[in-house]
Amino acid sequence: MLHKSLYALLFSLLVSTAPAAALAAEQAPLQVCFTPGGDCTDLVVGEIAAARHQILVQAYSFTSVPILSALRAAHARAVEVEVIVDKISAGVSKSGSHYSAAVYLTNAGIPVWVDSKVAIAHNKVMILDGAVVITGSFNFTAAAQNRNAENLLVISDPAVAAQYRDNWRRRQAVSERFGRVAEGQSG
C-alpha cells in the first residue's frame, strides 16, 4: 500500500510540474529513449526544432551531423544557441581533422566555450526554452546512435530546467570562449 501511494504522489508531482504548453501539446513530462533500438538522435533533433527562444548545450563528445545541423538551423531562425564543449570537441580529432564541432558551430555564428577546468566535461545536456532538459548517457554522436547502448531522457519541467541552466552558467563562467574559425571553411 505504501509503495502505491508513494508512486501516486510522485506521478502527481511530475504531472503538476510539467509546463502547461507541454501538456497542451500532449507532450509527456518525461520521454525516454534507448539505443540500440530507439532513434534518440531524431528525438533530440525534434526537440531542437521545437525550441523558440533559447538552447543551451553542454557536450562531451559531439560529432552528430543531424544534431549540429539542427542547432545551426535553430540559430538561423533566431533561437539563441550557446554551447559548452569538452576540450576533446574543440581539438584535433583522431582522424587529424581540425574541423571540430566547436569550429562548425563557431563558423555558424554560435558562441562556443571550452570547459577545460575539469579533467573531463562529461555532461550531455541541452536546456530548451527554460522548460525542457535533454540529458542521459547519450553523447551527441553517430556512435551513440548506431553502435552503443545509451539512454536519453527528455524532461519537461521548468524547475528542473532552471537547475540545469544554473549549472550551465556556472560551467560557462569557468570556461574559455572558443574563437578559432577554420581557414577556408564556411559554416
Selected catalytic residue, list 39, 122, 157, 166 = 122
Q: Which residue has the cell 581539438?
A: 91
Selected catalytic residue, list 86, 115, 124, 157 = 124
Whether 74 and 54 have beta carbons less than 8 Å apart is answered as no
Distance between CA atoms of residues 15 and 4, nearest Å: 16
**Collapsed DSSP state (helix, strand, coil) of residue 155:** strand
Selected catalytic residue, list 86, 115, 129, 157 = 129
Respond yes or no: is residue 87 known to be catalytic: no
Respond yes or no: is residue 94 known to be catalytic: no
- Which residues, in sequence order, are bridge partners of residue 177? 113
Q: What is the DSSP string of 87-133?
A: GGGTS--TT-----HHHHHHHTT--EEEE-SSS-----EEEETTTEE
Respond yes or no: is residue 157 known to be catalytic: no
The catalytic residue positions are 122, 124, 129
